[in-house]
């Protein structure tokens, strides 16, 4: 099957990624509600399988998002 991988656009959609203007300048940065694949690969929760710790982190993050207390982060902020 030729389409068994997500495109970067599909990954960004799933992660809730936005391109935003930074500091009132014309420069932009990508921010997301969930870590993008590049950031997730480098985090301590990425151990090759979905662990109990990853699930706990996910549930905590989801509650923050649903209660409007979560911020969106850049890849560097996710690390």
Nearest to 16 by CA among 36, 1, 33, 4: 33
Query: Per-residue pLDDT tens for 7-16?
Result: 999 999 999 9
| pTM score | 0.85
Residue-range domain boundaries for the chain = 8-78
Both structure tokens of 2: 């030729």
Q: What is the pLDDT of residue 62?
A: 98
Alpha helices in the chain (DSSP H): 8-15, 37-42, 52-66, 75-78
| Cβ atoms 30, 18 nearer than 8 A | yes
Confidence at 61, pLDDT banded by 50, 70, 90: very high
| Cβ atoms 36, 11 nearer than 8 A | yes
Query: Per-residue pLDDT tens for 15-60?
Result: 999 999 887 778 899 999 999 999 999 999 999 999 999 999 999 9
Both structure tokens of 65: 């998002």
């Amino acid at each position: 099957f030729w389409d068994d991988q997500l495109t970067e656009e599909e990954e960004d959609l799933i992660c809730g990624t936005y391109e935003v203007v930074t500091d009132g300048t014309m420069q932009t940065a990508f921010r997301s509600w969930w870590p993008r694949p590049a950031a997730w690969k480098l985090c301590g929760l990425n151990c090759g399988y979905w662990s109990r710790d990853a699930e706990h982190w996910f549930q905590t993050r989801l509650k923050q998002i649903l209660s409007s207390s979560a911020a969106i982060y850049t890849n560097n902020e996710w690390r």
